[in-house]
Amino acid sequence: MDHTHQRHRLASDTDDGMIAVFSGPSGVGKTTITRAVERSIPGAVFSVSATTRPPTSADVDGVDYHFVSDAQFEGMIARNEFLEWVDLFGRKYGTPRLWVQEQIARGRLVILEIDVVGAHKVRSQVPDAFGVFILPPSEEALLGRLRARKREDEAVIQRRFAEARREIAQAHAGNIYDRFIVNDVLERAIDEAVGAVNEQLARRRSRRGP
């Protein structure tokens, strides 16, 4: 028995929460969809990652990210405090394990928006996490969206496009995602995502019984 987790137990805990992992390539619209799922499902909470990257003027600590030093992050890794973490060009990002466990114990839906590698790590530790991968309608549409953002030059766009194709191939190859949703018409994709998560929540809660 995990006595560490037991100490955090409250009388109101129901243990019928769920992790929903959302992934998808850059430019596919997954943040818009995941935020809509959060707003549409009562008790849903968005997991806030810890990061070593410095905050921008628009960032709010504890809302956008938990901003920590490299030393603090390394300490958290050493204490196995992350469900998953990644190092992107020297900036680290991680999903805090204890916070996620506490939300699940309270019956909440915990939404993680992470890449395929992170999703694989989460599924290996939490096999009943529900995985959703957001797909573009076509490769041409994805490339068009990346160009339409007008944030980067063509070389960077092509690099992101190649990475997106690789990520889509990884998602299809692995046994990580339960649902693939094509974001062609945004409202329809949102409805499909909300429906898929609600259906999964209802199925699990009916299995557990009163």
Asked whether residue 180 carries a pLDDT value surpassing 70, the answer given is yes
Total residues found in the chain within this entry: 210
Q: Locate the DSSP E strands across the chain.
A: 18-23, 44-46, 50-51, 66-67, 82-88, 91-96, 109-113, 130-135, 179-182
Is the separation of the CB atoms in 20 and 132 below 8 Å?
yes
Digit-coded pLDDT (tens) for 95-120: 999 999 999 999 999 999 999 999 99
Structural domains in the chain, sorted by start: 17-208 (3.40.50.300)
Digit-coded pLDDT (tens) for 14-49: 567 999 999 999 889 999 999 999 999 999 999 999
Asked whether residue 208 carries a pLDDT value surpassing 70, the answer given is no
Read off the pLDDT band of 4 (50, 70, 90). very low
Read off the pLDDT band of 205 (50, 70, 90). confident
Which tokens go with 198? 């609600």
Which tokens go with 25? 């390539």
